[in-house]
Amino acid sequence: MSTTRRFRCDDLLKFNNVNLDVLTETYNMPFYLQYLTTWPEYFLIKESPDGTPMGYIMGKAEGQKELWHGHVTAVTVAPEYRRLGVAKQLMDSLETVSENVYNAFFVDLFVRVSNTLAINMYNAFGYSVYRRVLGYYSGEEDAFDMRKALPRDTDKKSVVPLSHPIMPEDLEW
Amino acid sequence: MGNVKLNQPPDRMCVENGNLASPSSGNWRQAVRLCEKRDVERWLTTKALKANGLWRLGKYDEALELCLDVQGASPTDEDTLAAMTYNYRMMSRREQVAPMFEVAVAAKPRDPSLIKELFMCYVRAKHYLKAQQTATKLHKVDPQGGKFIIWAAATMLIQAERKDSSAGVMTLPLAEKMTVKVLQENAANGLRPVGEELRLCLDILNLQGKHREALEALERFEPATGGEASGGSTASAADESRGTIEDESSLENGTIVNMQEAERLELKAELYEKLGGADDLARAEEVVQGLIRRSPDQWSYYVTVLDLMDKRHGLSEAVAGAEAGGITTPEWPASLSAALELIRSLQQEYPKWRGPFLAEMEVFRRAIAWFGSGYTPPAAQEVGGTAPASEPPPPPPPTSSGDEMQQTPPPLVLWGLLCRCISRYMAVFSAKLCCFQDLRPHLTLFAIGIGEGESSGGIEEGLVWLRDFFRREAAESRAEAGATAGDAEREQAPLDQAQREIGVKRLHRYICACQSRHLLGDHTPSKTIPIDNGSSSGVGVAAAAASAGPGDGDDGSGGAEARYRGVVGELTSQYRATLHLNLGSEGGQREVQHGDELVILAAQTLLRLCELYDNVGGGASAPGGDADGGRPDQAKSKGYLGRVEAVCLLEAAMSCSPYNHHLKILAIDVYRQLGSFARALTIFGELDVKQIQMDTLSYLMLGPSLCHGLFGEVQGQCKGIAAVHRSCKNDTAEHVATAFERGNYSKGAEVDRFQREKLDVSLQLALAKAQKVTMDIMLDHQTYTSAARCLQEEERPERGGGATFPGDDWLTGLKENMDYSVQIDRCTVVSKAEEESVGAARTARLQASLKRRLLANQTLLVALKPLRDKGTAAASEAVLREAAEAMGGAAASAKSCRDLLASCPRHVLTLDSGKNGAEGGGKVYQAETPLRSQWLRLVSKTLTDGLVYTAIVLQALGAELPADKKKKSGKGKGKGKGKKAAEPAAGDGGGARLRLQEALSGLGWEVSELLRAMSTTLKSEVSAKGDPARPGETLTKLLKGGLGAEYEPAIGMLWESDGVRWCKESVVPGAVLGVTGSQAICCQRLLSVVTENLAMLQRWEKKGG
């Protein structure tokens, strides 16, 4: 039970319960403001009935032609609200926006290769590893670029795995 | 040349233009040289780029001069303007950008991209009226489907919201006309409506109170359903420009995103609600019920539906009327039954979603307020009925004693129905960690009752029923007895996945039951219940009570203290018994551990107990008026010990669960209470508070740092807070412009509002700035000038300065952005109203303290000025008072004097100790005795308190140190992290002094410095007066007493955070948890020594003062 709504500036003052989690980075203001003012449909927060932030998702749409896609920049859930399907609901919302609002071909995200729990979770949400990006995380760890095709990609071309890993500088975005 | 983006740094532009070598390699010197080549040198663009290079090379004056030179030549080409814009931003001279573009636009009045850039300049500078005029100009040059008319309208809305004086009455109607016209024209041309434009239109109408018109607009510009908009191959030219989004390029000119259906319906319901007629409310209800069916887990929809029902049937109103002796109690509306029916059907449909289950509770909770808790709703059987057949959760497996514990269901009146819902919710969701938080508002209703009046009837019965219920839940979900003994076996035979899951679910259910019992007052008595008189040795009782188990505490055997102790014992034993369920870090995850909440509960229980101890001897609440004289001290000692125990518990839990910030935040608070700043600071560092969190969370450490004398830390944090705010201000301005560029007008207005209503009026920011001025003045008199400048800034008219500085309007307009929600408190029952009044009182307190601080700063500056100017010993407290009086007003005199004196002039002391830093004003301050001694008296209390706590912690931990570790640490001490370690006191050797230094090394350099100076001062003052009490010795004795020789090895351990390491190493929590009887005795003995010393010091102070 929660309320999903667009993230508002004021939430920046209240999202500590989520952001104090060690794996959730607190970025500088321009980062949040950029997402808020550019892709407001893609920046969603979930609140519990008492108004406590449970988690949020940040995303954007980018790419030309068949690479036009929704991107999950960050999705995070406060520890006490895990295992309730919050992340799933947030991801669903982002996919819906990508499909219905932005008419994208697919949704993608990056995840540390060591984060098996998250990878399993994304698998369960229908994402598959498209390619491996070497040294994506400050040169220290590789990332999986995971994708999920949307209905516009009728042949599911976007998710055919790439046979070889790539370097971060080869990323299109 | 036209493809250069203005927000690109010129180094990239150089590459793109291909004319110049790339300075992106960082070779600015070469770049500057290239700019000086003969054929390019005279170009304005080159000059602008050269200025950039010069600035980077540190030739600031030259760079600025060149920029002004370029600006003087009135450039109009985009490249030069872009480079200049970049330069001015880099030089923090943003205000010079707009005039530059004004000139350019005047020269090229029909260049849309220049005008657009000028518009953005005005938006960034918040000159919305000028922006509006510029947008209109832009529209004339480049109509673009009315886009710039919308820009103008959006800036008008912002002006109206800001209540800019220039925004007259006519602004909004005009903006309305403009927007509607654009929307109409676009609709006529078959263009899809853009969601943000429609939203802007509604905002403009709503702000004028024209809700009916807004509703009409919403319906009129409803997006075409079906395939019309997507057009297909026959789409008109217009459709192509604003048709379906194909890819990134479709959005180059801003958003064409339509409003999503759910958002449209939400807006519709909102508008109907605003209209407020009975029909409108019914319509709104209908819309929201439709939304509920679409998204049954969206809590806000349920809240809205119940609010609407309340309004439509005048339920709350009727209750208020009935209380005033007017109308009779309202009737149960049929629509409420219908809503319940819908909710119940959704429960069956989505048995795993919390939404519909919580919604039912919400219905009954509200109904209790409307109809009274003893009210029987129509067809109660149906409404309350038994759980639906398809309900998924099997009833919890009965324990061996389950049969006797069978609970009779509560009656089918409202409170009973709510209790049934609660019990059912437990059955379905107790395995989730958030279960308690979900139940909390409903449990609170029972815990605080509903106030006076008939309506509270039944609430008490409900409380009894619930207490009984949760007692059973706890008993049924306890880990099996003797679990602790089996630790070793368990390690050998690890749990399989299924067993673990069952164990975790059971643990979570237990946690939820315990949290609920806490809230319902079933675990610990309320604060007003005195502790037991007979417990001479609390710890002994604790041991006895711990074995008694939970829920048995009310048999009157141990009294309050034993009961608290029993709860703590039970919680910690359950924590230990379930530690094996944790997986630690797996798969890169850093989860909090399952049992952490038990430790939080236990620690909070202990802290409550400590509060009870603290109150002993405090007067009214002391139990047994005939208690002997030693009694308050004993209680105080127990209070310290309880806190030590709590912090040990938390440390142990943190070592098992290093990523749980709730544990950390609670630990910071306990360390603060114990006067242990070094460790608190380390933990605070682990929270990694940064960026915007500086505004919301630095309160966690700022206050404690200040009262513990960590002035450097305070200074750093204040600086950080101010810096974050400074950059935020630029960032928000920048992003209002981004929002316009992207066509997200509502977000532009929101960002503007955020800056204005939250950041600009941040109380934390004002406090930090004022604090920083104090610190600057106090810690480093070299910064006098900068501090004075800071203060002058505070006095600017918009800050409410002038004659009545600091202006009351400004002060009361400041708001707290602090996020207190991170400090969880599972024990305290607070009603919403109470919470609000506590919050308001806190804000007022902070505002008042800010006012005092500002006055003190100003007084101090005035007072210090002659000192600084003359460099003589003329200054004295009299000067200070004089200055204060010159400031005008009684508030500015005595009180602010005291305040500023309490602000710890470190340099006064350092200079005074005479060893170093005797430059300039040193002698001046040395002669200023009254000021110093007054200040010393004020800080000494805080300081000695801290030392007493310190000593007790050392004792408590030291006694349990294994012998070999003692040696090890004894050798290693003094090395430590040592960042803030005190320098050894020159020429003042001796064992006691050395020990003192060691002990103080963890307290922060400033404090040790302070103590050293304090000791010197006291000595010299006494020798001057010839006081026989020899306070210098007293002080040494005090410290020596606190840090007795037998515990020497422990000193370094704890305070260079090795003590904490010890906690971590011997992580078997059992070893850390209990404070044994012998330790308690040690501590009490120690305490009496310290108190004695304190008393001596006080006696001396009375004489000497």
Cβ separation A9–B817 shorter than 8 A: no
C-alpha R_g of chain B = 35
Assess whether B748 and B706 both reside in one domain.
yes
Assess whether B633 and B777 both reside in one domain.
no
Cβ separation B822–A114 shorter than 8 A: no
Residue B502 has pLDDT above 80, yes or no: yes
Q: How confident is the model at residue B633 (pLDDT cuts 50, 70, 90)?
A: low
Q: In chain B, which residue's Cα lies nearest the Cα of A81? A: B434
Q: Which of B248, B270, B740 to mutate to test the interface with A (most CBs of A within 10 A)?
A: B248
Residue of A117 and B761 predicted with greater confidence: B761
Residue B743 has pLDDT above 60, yes or no: yes
For A:36-75, CB contacts with B below 8 A are 36-38, 40-41, 47-50, 52, 54, 61-65, 67-68
Mean pLDDT to the nearest integer, B691-717 = 81
Residue of B316 and B781 predicted with greater confidence: B316
Question: Looking at beta carbons, which residues of chain B come within 8 Å of A22?
Answer: 590, 659, 688
Mean pLDDT to the nearest integer, A17-26 = 91
Q: How confident is the model at residue B551 (pLDDT cuts 50, 70, 90)?
A: very low
For A:11-30, CB contacts with B below 8 A are 12-14, 16-17, 19-23, 26-30
Cβ separation A79–B747 shorter than 8 A: no
Assess whether B667 and B797 both reside in one domain.
no
Are B81 and B75 within 8 A, CB to CB? yes
Residue B59 has pLDDT above 60, yes or no: yes
| B584-596 confidence digits (pLDDT tens) | 655 455 778 899 9
Q: Within an 8 Å CB–CB cutoff, is residue A83 touching chain B? A: yes
Q: Within an 8 Å CB–CB cutoff, is residue A92 touching chain B? A: no
Residue B987 has pLDDT above 70, yes or no: no
The answer to the question of residue B164 being in a domain is: no
Residue B1060's pLDDT is 30
Mean pLDDT to the nearest integer, B1033-1055 = 35
Backbone angles phi, psi at B915, to 5 degrees: -85, -40
Instruction: Compute the mean pLDDT over every residue in chain B, rounded to the nearest whole number.
Output: 70
Q: How far apart are CA B802 and CA B544, in angstroms?
A: 66
Assess whether B472 and B555 both reside in one domain.
no
Beta-carbon contacts of B1055 under 8 Å, excluding residues fewer than 6 positions away, are B676, B678, B950, B999, B1001, B1002, B1003
Q: How far apart are CA B1089 and CA B307, in angstroms?
A: 63
Question: Looking at beta carbons, which residues of chain A come within 8 Å of B504?
Answer: none
Residue of B678 and B132 predicted with greater confidence: B132
Residue A52's pLDDT is 92
Nearest to A116 among B587, B697, B821 (CB): B587
Residue B61 has pLDDT above 60, yes or no: yes
Strands A69-77 and A106-112: parallel
Range in B429-433, B770-774, B795-799 with the lowest mean pLDDT = B795-799
Domain count for chain B: 5
Are B860 and B893 within 8 A, CB to CB? no
Cβ separation B742–A38 shorter than 8 A: yes
| B552-580 confidence digits (pLDDT tens) | 334 333 477 888 888 988 998 898 888 88
Residue B859's pLDDT is 63
Question: Looking at beta carbons, which residues of chain A come within 8 Å of B738?
Answer: 33-34, 37-38
Q: In chain A, which residue's Cα lies nearest the Cα of B824? A: A17
Residue B894's pLDDT is 38
Residue B631's pLDDT is 54
Residue B1062 has pLDDT above 90, yes or no: no
Cβ separation A29–B727 shorter than 8 A: yes
For A:111-130, CB contacts with B below 8 A are 112, 114-118, 120
| B817-859 confidence digits (pLDDT tens) | 999 999 888 767 788 888 899 999 999 999 988 887 777 676 6
Domain boundary among B108, B125, B153: B108
Cβ separation B434–A16 shorter than 8 A: no
Neighbours of B815 (CB within 10 A): 16
Quickly tell me which residue has 């955020």 as its tokens.
Answer: B754
| A140-153 confidence digits (pLDDT tens) | 899 999 999 999 99
Question: Looking at beta carbons, which residues of chain A come within 8 Å of B695?
Answer: 13
Q: How far is B106 from chain A (nearest CA, A)?
A: 30
| B803-817 confidence digits (pLDDT tens) | 446 678 889 999 999
- Which two structure tokens, joined as six digits, stand for B886? 């010159």
Q: What is the domain partition of chain A in residue ranges? A: 3-170
Residue of B336 and B256 predicted with greater confidence: B336
Question: Looking at beta carbons, which residues of chain B come within 8 Å of A14?
Answer: 696, 819, 821
Q: pLDDT > 70: what percent of chain B?
A: 57
Q: How confident is the model at residue B864 (pLDDT cuts 50, 70, 90)?
A: low
Assess whether B897 and B843 both reside in one domain.
yes
Residue B269's pLDDT is 97
Residue B634 has pLDDT above 70, yes or no: no
Cβ separation A2–B246 shorter than 8 A: no
Strands A44-47 and A53-62: antiparallel
Residue B725 has pLDDT above 50, yes or no: yes
Distances (CA, A) of B1005 to B148, B983, B985, B1042, B1044: 60, 8, 12, 19, 22
Instruction: Compute the mean pLDDT over every residue in chain A, rounded to the nearest whole number.
Output: 94
| CATH for the stretch A3-170 | 3.40.630.30
Are B566 and B546 within 8 A, CB to CB? yes
Neighbours of A139 (CB within 10 A): 9
Residue B878 has pLDDT above 90, yes or no: no
Nearest to A13 among B257, B299, B817 (CB): B817
Q: How far is B403 from chain A (nearest CA, A)?
A: 32
- Which two structure tokens, joined as six digits, stand for B539? 């710890």
| B182-192 confidence digits (pLDDT tens) | 999 988 888 87
Backbone angles phi, psi at A62, to 5 degrees: -155, 165
The answer to the question of residue B910 being in a domain is: yes
Assess whether B833 and B961 both reside in one domain.
no
Report the 3 state secondary structure along chain A. Answer: CEEEEECCHHHHHCCHHHHCCCCCCCCCHHHHHHHHHHCHHHCEEEECCCCCEEEEEEEEEECCHHHCEEEEEEEEECHHHCCCCHHHHHHHHHHHHHHHHCCCCEEEEEEECCCHHHHHHHHHCCCEEEEEEEEEECCCEEEEEEEEECCCCCCCHHHCCCCCCECHHHCCC
Residue B643's pLDDT is 77
Q: How far apart are CA B671 and CA B677, in angstroms?
A: 7
Question: Looking at beta carbons, which residues of chain B come within 8 Å of A27?
Answer: 691
Query: Is there a cis peptide before residue B806, judged by omega within 30 degrees of 0?
Result: yes
How far from each other are the two terminal CA atoms of chain A, in whole angstroms? 36
Q: How confident is the model at residue B290 (pLDDT cuts 50, 70, 90)?
A: very high
Residue A35 has pLDDT above 90, yes or no: yes
Assess whether B652 and B742 both reside in one domain.
no
Q: How confident is the model at residue B641 (pLDDT cuts 50, 70, 90)?
A: low
| B484-501 confidence digits (pLDDT tens) | 444 444 555 667 888 889
Nearest to B588 among A37, A81, A112 (CB): A112
Q: What is the ipTM of this complex?
A: 0.96
Residue B480 has pLDDT above 80, yes or no: no
Domain boundary among B108, B132, B155: B108
Assess whether B976 and B880 both reside in one domain.
no
Q: How confident is the model at residue B778 (pLDDT cuts 50, 70, 90)?
A: low
Residue A94 has pLDDT above 80, yes or no: yes
Residue B542 has pLDDT above 50, yes or no: no
Q: Three-state SS for B524? A: coil
Assess whether B670 and B706 both reside in one domain.
no
Question: Looking at beta carbons, which residues of chain A come within 8 Å of B821?
Answer: 14, 16-17, 52
Beta-carbon contacts of B648 under 8 Å, excluding residues fewer than 6 positions away, are B957, B1063, B1072, B1073, B1075
Q: In chain A, which residue's Cα lies nearest the Cα of B747? A: A37
Assess whether B734 and B650 both reside in one domain.
no
Residue B636's pLDDT is 60
Assess whether B648 and B778 both reside in one domain.
no
Q: In chain B, which residue's Cα lies nearest the Cα of A60? A: B248
Distances (CA, A) of B241 to A87, B2, B144: 36, 22, 10
Q: How confident is the model at residue B786 (pLDDT cuts 50, 70, 90)?
A: low
Residue B379's pLDDT is 67
Q: In chain A, which residue's Cα lies nearest the Cα of B755? A: A9
The answer to the question of residue B1091 being in a domain is: yes
Q: How far apart are CA B652 and CA B1071, in angstroms?
A: 10
Question: Looking at beta carbons, which residues of chain B come within 8 Å of A50?
Answer: 437, 440-441
Residue B825's pLDDT is 81
Range in B114-123, B627-636, B925-934 with the lowest mean pLDDT = B925-934
Domain of residue B793 covers: 702-924
Residue of B954 and B218 predicted with greater confidence: B218
Residue B48 has pLDDT above 70, yes or no: yes
Range in B310-314, B686-690, B993-997 with the lowest mean pLDDT = B993-997
Question: Looking at beta carbons, which residues of chain A come within 8 Å of B249?
Answer: 64
Cβ separation A84–B432 shorter than 8 A: yes
Q: How far apart are CA B122 and CA B95, in angstroms?
A: 10
Range in A12-26, B19-33, B135-149 with the lowest mean pLDDT = B19-33
Cβ separation B748–A37 shorter than 8 A: yes
Mean pLDDT to the nearest integer, B300-316 = 93
CB pairs under 8 A between A and B: 180
Cβ separation B248–A63 shorter than 8 A: yes
Mean pLDDT to the nearest integer, A134-138 = 93
Assess whether B801 and B899 both reside in one domain.
yes
- Which two structure tokens, joined as six digits, stand for B719? 């600086």
Residue B319's pLDDT is 81
Neighbours of B1013 (CB within 10 A): 21
Q: Three-state SS for B658? A: coil
Question: Looking at beta carbons, which residues of chain A come within 8 Å of B758?
Answer: 9-10, 13
Q: In chain B, which residue's Cα lies nearest the Cα of A106? A: B247
Question: Looking at beta carbons, which residues of chain B come within 8 Å of A5?
Answer: 300
Are B239 and B231 within 8 A, CB to CB? yes
Cβ separation A40–B747 shorter than 8 A: yes
Quickly tell me which residue has 């697919």 as its tokens.
Answer: A106
Domain boundary among B479, B511, B539: B479
Q: How far apart are CA B151 and CA B128, in angstroms?
A: 11
Quickly tell me which residue has 């003087």 as its tokens.
Answer: B72
Query: What residue type is B993 in one-letter code?
Result: R
Nearest to B509 by CA among B574, B421, B447: B574
The answer to the question of residue B500 being in a domain is: no
Cβ separation B438–A1 shorter than 8 A: yes
Residue B159 has pLDDT above 80, yes or no: yes
Residue B454 has pLDDT above 60, yes or no: no
The answer to the question of residue B424 being in a domain is: yes
Q: How far apart are CA B1080 and CA B230, in angstroms?
A: 79
Residue of B168 and B1013 predicted with greater confidence: B168
Mean pLDDT to the nearest integer, B163-173 = 73
Q: How confident is the model at residue B37 (pLDDT cuts 50, 70, 90)?
A: confident
Cβ separation B692–A80 shorter than 8 A: no
How many residues comprise chain A? 173
Residue A157's pLDDT is 95
